[in-house]
Amino acid sequence: MDILLDFLANVPWWAWILIFLLFVAIRDIFFQKAHTISHNFPIVGHLRYWLESIGPEMRQYFVANNREELPFNRIERGWIYASAKKENNYEGFGTDRDIYSHQHIFIKNAMIGYQMRSNHPNIENPYFLPCAKVIGAHNKRKKPYRPASVINISAMSFGSLSAAAVDAMNHGVKKCHAYHNTGEGGLSPYHKQGGDVIFHFGTGYFGVRSREGNFSIEKMKILVDENPCIKAIEIKLSQGAKPGKGGVLPGAKITPEIANIRGVEVGKDVLSPATHKAFSSIPELLELIEAIAQETGLPVGIKAAIGKMEQWNELADLMKKTGKGPDFITVDGGEGGTGAAPPSFADHVSLPWVYGFASVYKTFKDRNLTDRIVFIGSGKLGFPAKAAMAFAMGVDCINVAREAMMSIGCIQAQVCHTNRCPTGVATQSKWLQNGINVPLKSDRLAQYFKTFRKEFIEITHAAGYEHPSQFTMNDIQVNVDDDYLSSDLETVYRYKKTAVPFSSMQELYDCEYLGGKTALEKTS
Ligand SMILES: Cc1cc2nc3c(=O)[nH]c(=O)nc-3n(C[C@H](O)[C@H](O)[C@H](O)COP(=O)(O)O)c2cc1C
């Protein structure tokens, strides 16, 4: 025994490495059958897999130029990070964008911009930018709601996001008087930290589901009665990243906490069908909207990604005929994000935001219905210039999902679907989410929203307006192509936006339906 130990102790370190590599080579050639490259090129074949796995990070940090990456390039991410940290978010020396490129946005500035009087609400509070319309006012819902912020958190469920991320986001919206959309996963305790909430449900009816998996209006009523933080309800028809795609939540992922929030059984697979069971036609959808609004007193809206227009035309005709309809419509762009989707869906199904929104708005505009509806847009709109274009096209608010994630630390690792999100934002791993400092990250989300609103107000003033709802289609141009270089939105998308009945910021400030108002501090 001593002789063997002596012998092993005298083997030099480099010989141990050679022995280890020999074992790897034997395994690669004779035992593993899954990887041809490792079999044909033992040992060195592993380098290929390792380099492939770190490729995205290498490209992101060293190779890609500032404007190259998708979905969000380095300049866009940098602007969100700096805004969220209240750091210098300016750039020096002038733009590095090719401003003659296709789809580039130009906002037409006024010769003399909007001048605020000395007692204007934005002098005291440069971040005050509420929605110019009241959701549910036209349909005379019992509890109408005016969002106190034009930028809000888009649907993302607890389950796709971590508890810590949802917690930070809800504390964040409370601090900046925005609203927080629950996403499909039901209303979790983390959504109840004091911020306004939009309750969102899809085909799984999580949180408002009967034992058989159908929609339960009784559960909806109880949920709303018990949770005054819920200000409106959104029925999801589809989302840009995967319209018409159902899904299965595997039983293994259903912890007692998730089961309780979603109203499902622990450990059992749960199906989210591709379509709703609660309605199968436009008249039935309209009936459901009215039933929910009647029972809860809340405004009710729909969210959809846009493709074919026939059923939208049918909805608009029916609204015209019956005088009823959704209080708000959220239009999601095909460029929208998701926790997980097949690339064939994410890349190809549904129209990009500008095309989809233009078609939907035109449909309602043609029937004089636009002033009955609050239009919400989502799809990479969380940047003031993009938002200005969206407002000029007719939106009243924007929702942001991935931009909100980035403000609390997401680095666009694009691994939400693996449960291995390195920043703890989109994972259920306790270890990874422990890295999220909730008070700090909630400050960051609030600061991003506030910086966004301040910059958006400044752009609005530069264009000669008091509120972005006053932007018209002629105030903004987009480059369409080389021989027809730039055209205003009205010419490109061929409709005129309905003027929003905005009178003054003061009136919005004094509105009795203003969300987050109890907590509204004049200077925050
Ligand atoms: C992690 C994650 C989860 C999402 N979950 C939902 C959801 O439950 N329901 C839904 O309608 N959209 C969902 N979305 C889509 C977003 O609400 C939003 O419509 C889309 O990402 C576009 O906004 P963005 O470009 O600001 O990210 C999710 C997006 C992300 C990134």
DSSP category for residue 417: G
Instruction: Encode pLDDT of 408-423 as tens digits.
Output: 999 999 999 888 999 9
Q: Looking at ligand 1, which residue's alpha carbon is closest to its atom 23?
A: 379
* Count of C-beta atoms within a 10 Å radius of residue 413: 16
| Range with the poorest average pLDDT among 2-16, 156-170, 229-243 | 2-16
What mean pLDDT do residues 245-272 have? 84
Q: Relative to the CA of 337, which ligand 1 atom is closest?
A: 21
Q: Find the 198 Cα to ligand 1 centroid distance in Å.
A: 14
Q: How many Å apart are CA 136 and CA 457, to the nearest integer?
A: 25
Query: Cβ(156) to ligand 1 under 6 A?
Result: yes
Burial 21-53 (b: 16+ CB within 10 A, else e): eeebeeebeeeeeeeeebeeebeebeeeeeeee
What pLDDT does 90 receive? 93
| Burial tier of 74 (Cβ tally within 10 Å: 0-12, 13-18, 19+) | middle
Structural contact between residues 346 and 318, judged by C-beta atoms closer than 8 angstroms: no
484 or 269, higher pLDDT = 269
Q: Relative to the CA of 404, which ligand 1 atom is closest?
A: 26
What mean pLDDT do residues 295-314 have? 98
Query: 71 pLDDT exceeds 80?
Result: yes
Query: 519 pLDDT exceeds 80?
Result: no
What pLDDT does 270 receive? 80
Q: Find the 414 Cα to ligand 1 centroid distance in Å.
A: 14
Which residue has tokens 């936006």?
Answer: 497
* Count of C-beta atoms within a 10 Å radius of residue 201: 27
What mean pLDDT do residues 275-279 have? 97
Q: How confident is the model at residue 485 (pLDDT cuts 50, 70, 90)?
A: low
Query: Cβ(330) to ligand 1 under 6 A?
Result: no
What mean pLDDT do residues 295-318 have? 98
Q: Give the DSSP H or E segment for 270.
A: strand 270-272
| Burial tier of 8 (Cβ tally within 10 Å: 0-12, 13-18, 19+) | exposed
Q: How many Å apart are CA 302 and CA 325, to the nearest integer?
A: 10
Q: Find the 410 Cα to ligand 1 centroid distance in Å.
A: 14
Query: Cβ(409) to ligand 1 under 6 A?
Result: no
Query: Cβ(412) to ligand 1 under 6 A?
Result: no
Q: How confident is the model at residue 483 (pLDDT cuts 50, 70, 90)?
A: very low
Instruction: Encode pLDDT of 102-115 as tens digits.
Output: 889 999 999 999 99
Structural contact between residues 463 and 475, judged by C-beta atoms closer than 8 angstroms: yes
Closest to 380 in 3D by CA, of 406, 349, 415: 406
Residue 112: what are its φ and ψ, rounded to 5°? Answer: -125, 120
Query: Cβ(382) to ligand 1 under 6 A?
Result: yes
Query: Cβ(245) to ligand 1 under 6 A?
Result: no
Q: Relative to the CA of 339, which ligand 1 atom is closest?
A: 1
What pLDDT does 54 receive? 86
What pLDDT does 56 receive? 81
Alpha-carbon distance values, 309 to 62, 146, 182, 274, 365 (Å): 44, 29, 28, 19, 14
What pLDDT does 481 receive? 67
What mean pLDDT do residues 249-273 have? 84
Peptide linkage before 343 cis (omega within 30 of 0): no
> What average pLDDT does the structure give for the chain?
93
Q: Relative to the CA of 405, which ligand 1 atom is closest?
A: 31
Q: Find the 482 Cα to ligand 1 centroid distance in Å.
A: 34
What mean pLDDT do residues 249-262 have? 84
Q: Find the 407 Cα to ligand 1 centroid distance in Å.
A: 15
Query: Cβ(427) to ligand 1 under 6 A?
Result: no
Q: What share of the chain is helix, strand, coil (3-state, %, to 5)?
A: 40, 15, 45
Amino acid 438 reads V
Closest to 176 in 3D by CA, of 191, 156, 146, 196: 196
Q: Find the 485 Cα to ligand 1 centroid distance in Å.
A: 33
Q: How confident is the model at residue 187 (pLDDT cuts 50, 70, 90)?
A: very high
Instruction: Encode pLDDT of 34-58 as tens digits.
Output: 888 899 999 999 998 888 888 888 8
What mean pLDDT do residues 161-165 have? 96
What mean pLDDT do residues 78-86 have? 97
Alpha-carbon distance values, 205 to 212, 234, 413, 486 (Å): 11, 12, 30, 45
What pLDDT does 2 receive? 84
Q: Looking at ligand 1, which residue's alpha carbon is closest to its atom 4?
A: 156
Structural contact between residues 340 and 272, judged by C-beta atoms closer than 8 angstroms: no
Query: Cβ(442) to ligand 1 under 6 A?
Result: no
Mutation choice for ligand 1 from 156, 245, 378, 403, CB with most ligand atoms inside 8 A: 156
What pLDDT does 486 receive? 66
Instruction: Encode pLDDT of 116-136 as tens digits.
Output: 999 999 999 999 999 999 999
Q: Give the DSSP H or E segment for 81.
A: helix 74-84
Q: Find the 336 Cα to ligand 1 centroid distance in Å.
A: 6
Query: 518 pLDDT exceeds 60?
Result: no
Q: Relative to the CA of 303, which ligand 1 atom is closest?
A: 11
Query: Cβ(231) to ligand 1 under 6 A?
Result: no
Which residue has tokens 């022995």?
Answer: 19
What mean pLDDT do residues 463-476 have? 97
Which residue has tokens 């900046």?
Answer: 176
Q: Looking at ligand 1, which residue's alpha carbon is closest to its atom 6?
A: 156
Q: Find the 156 Cα to ligand 1 centroid distance in Å.
A: 5
Mutation choice for ligand 1 from 338, 381, 397, CB with most ligand atoms inside 8 A: 338
Q: How many Å apart are CA 390 and CA 250, to the nearest integer?
A: 38
